[in-house]
Structure 1
Amino acid sequence: MIASPAIPTEQLRLSVAPMMDWTDSHCRVFHRLLAPHARLYSEMVHANAVVLGDRARLLAMDPGEHPVALQLGGSEPALLAQAARIGAEWGYDEINLNCGCPSDRVQAGRFGACLMREPQRVADSVAAMIAACSVPVTVKCRLGVDDDHEWQHFVGFIDTIVGAGCQTFVVHARNAWLKGLSPKENREVPPLRYDWAYRLKRERPQLQVIVNGGIADAEEASAHLAHVEGAMLGRAAYHTPYLLHALDVRWFGGELQSRAELLRAYRPYVEVQLARGVSLKHITRHLLGLFAGQPGGRAFRQVLSEGAHKPGADWTLVEHALVLTEREPHSP
């Protein structure tokens, strides 16, 4: 068995979940400005697409994003090994295997959360991926699928994969229901059981465990650090991105910056992308929650939503939106 390299513990404390249609390169560059110490993840990309598809589009990454992980979907060890090697060659710092997505598409392809029922297939895939690349190979999983609520099934799944050389697990601390719930409902309806992630760390202290699922604010995120290596934020990081900045300063130190200061630091990147022909709407869609709950926040969102798709839209639109937020003081 070849053991996957460990990830420095401080890089695991804060991370942003892989989110389909959201965590593209534009989003990750923005999140990096907010949280210099966070570990970032790509959207899930199927291994077959990495091997046969448009890599320049699928694996797009800005040098400022590091450390950033590529999340792969798939269930064929040889194909996943090829995709892992390619991902590492493109500069990703980690390759993560998705064993948690419950959508109909992944069920039809027999990957994602379905793999919770095939621990040996996952182990074979992980072993092949570790052998194919020199960066850490990690797994993101659920606690189980459907009505499987047996601790021994969950820990048996983990132990089988550990036997293949993996030592880092992101645990979305709820089951995936493969029938009867949409992917959105699967993120909300099955009950959260953080205690299973905590127990995994207690009983397997050599493993690196990151907890994911339902983390909504700084206090919740901070509480997890007493039990596991890290907290991975998903929707909260996307819809209220200033939370990432607040957590980064709280956990790693540094000066708390205003939302406007952070946004203006994004301008050079935005203008480079506009010069390359990228439409402003593809970038500003990730900014809409920056002033959530703040004076002028609704106007900020409205200006960007209504104007970014228009021909010729540029940074001037962002400045116009910012003006609407600067008329009243903001909470930190």
Structure 2
Amino acid sequence: MADRLVRGVDAARPGVPTLEQVAAKAGVSRSTASRAINGGLRVSPEALLAVEAAVADLGYSPNRAARSLVTRRTDSIALVVPEPDERVLSDPFFAGTLNGLASALADTEIQVVLVIARPGQNERTVRYLRNGHVDGAIVVSHHRDDTLDRALVELRLPSVFVGRPLSATPEVDSRLQYVDTDNVQGGRMATQHLLDRGCRRIGTIAGPEDMSAGIDRLIGWRQAMTAAGQRDDAVVHGDFTIVSGAEAARRLLTEYPDVDGIFIASDLMAAGALPVLAELGREVPQDVAVVGYDNLGVAASTQPPLTSVIQPVVAMARAAGLRLLDQLQGATPTPPLIFAPELVVRASA
């Protein structure tokens, strides 16, 4: 049936190279040529090379709709972002994610479908993924209540998370693939830099308590503070946005006015905090030294420029895309890929 479908589509396009012509030029059977074009399964390397050369010489392009019927593939993947629309459009993290994912898919015909999983619409997102619209999914900015990790495991849909998913059980977590940066080490590194500068009352504006990045960066801050024999009580939380950084900075300085160093868990929150420090008469870094996290471009444009821990978002998204491509080709799951953090020192600390 599948062979007849493709044959019919090819025959309906007069003057356009057909699958039969590709097979004849490559010196293989029509079924071998079809398998080579549709993924290369059960095709020898020699035959695959011959078919690829014939396709290039003849300018053959299979009809995408017919190919989907044959392969049961859509040649599309979803980039799932469980955040409000305005957050996706304003946060440079998501631009970096798209950049890295596009790089991973550059040599393929796979298209990316952006799925913004707005708060309270998890069921709609899962239903979309379940109904066969895409071949796989990349999930970024995952929150505990999204439950996308468990849903994707149940769907058996090829998927990769950018950032460690907060799974409910070890069983679920062991069946997920993800890439991340070592956020605990990054939090320690940022805090140690402040300690090495001589700061003795270091606070933190931590990230969301329902995201692994927020949790792990706070753990790193606490580890460095404990190792230095310092108190770790000066903690307020934001949600990785500029507005929340400004509000958190005001709370932190009100509750802990003796703070002389702040580790802020994202550069966007730091961009909101710096004007508040200036408003309150605290010079940076003379009165309060500040270290951020991400180094995605915002850090270099703040006043003063921000010392920041690198989160290699583009490289992480590219790695996630390549891992998803491997899954789509039938590869077995691989252990998590964790990038090492680095510190970029600028004028703020």
Assess same fold via TM > 0.5. Answer: no
Q: Which structure would you say has the larger Rg?
A: 2
